[in-house]
Amino acid sequence: MARSTDIANCLTVCSTKESAFSSKRVARLARIAGITAQIGYKRSPGKYGGKLSLAVDNALNRQFDAVAPDRAWVTDITYIRTLDGGANLAVVIDLKSRRFVGWSMQNLQTTEVALQALHMAVWRRKPKGRMLIHSYQGSQFTSMDCAAFTRTHKLEPSMSRRGICHDNAVANGLLPRPGS
């Protein structure tokens, strides 16, 4: 019985042009030694699969046509290049009028920039009744501070699932994307 080191040496020699071994002999010796090719890597199911992360339900459900102003707002944060480096712009857009009702700009993409934009929107528009705020599941919008803000101002949060960019298409369509 051949040792695996002998087979490995044989495979190294066989890979050169001057070798006298046929590919069938190399395959037979590799099979005897238990040497097989590794094809790809197995992914652990917990890391790539499992349950979907839902911070709150998607109440908007891609219904982008609001019946009246100040019934549904969408939010987004985008990075804008400047001469000094860059800035993060957070906006709140009314779905009926498609106008920016709140905005804020800072160097860092933190919860504070999102809260300032929401605070400006609430201060400017003073919504009455049921008000839907739709965002993606970024850490800025899933934070405890943002949840407390929506409860305090009687706003109903709505979030799309991770990786679903179509649910926030209105905000993404009105903002410039990095590199454009």
CA gap 100, 120 in Å, rounded: 10
Residue pLDDT, tens place only, 40-79: 666 655 555 555 556 777 767 666 667 777 778 888 888 8
Cα(109)–Cα(114) distance, integer angstroms: 8
Question: How far, CA to CA in Å, does 162 sit from each of 88, 116, 168?
Answer: 21, 24, 11
pTM (2 d.p.): 0.63
Q: What is the number of residues in the chain?
A: 180
Mean predicted lDDT score pLDDT of the chain:
76
For 112-144, the pLDDT digits (tens) are 999 999 999 999 988 888 888 888 777 888 888
Domains and CATH numbers, the chain: 4-33 (no CATH), 72-174 (3.30.420.10)
State both tokens at 58: 């998607």
Name, in order, each residue with C-beta under 8 angstroms of 31's C-beta and a sequence gap of 6 or more: none
Instruction: Phi first, then psi: give them for residue 147, nearest 5 degrees.
Output: -65, -40
Name the nearest CA neighbour of 110 among 81, 88, 82: 88
pLDDT at 111 over 60: yes
Lookup: tokens for 144: 């405890």
The confidence score (pLDDT) of residue 73 equals 87
| DSSP-assigned letter for residue 2 | -
C-alpha torsion sign, points 13, 16, 18, 23:
positive
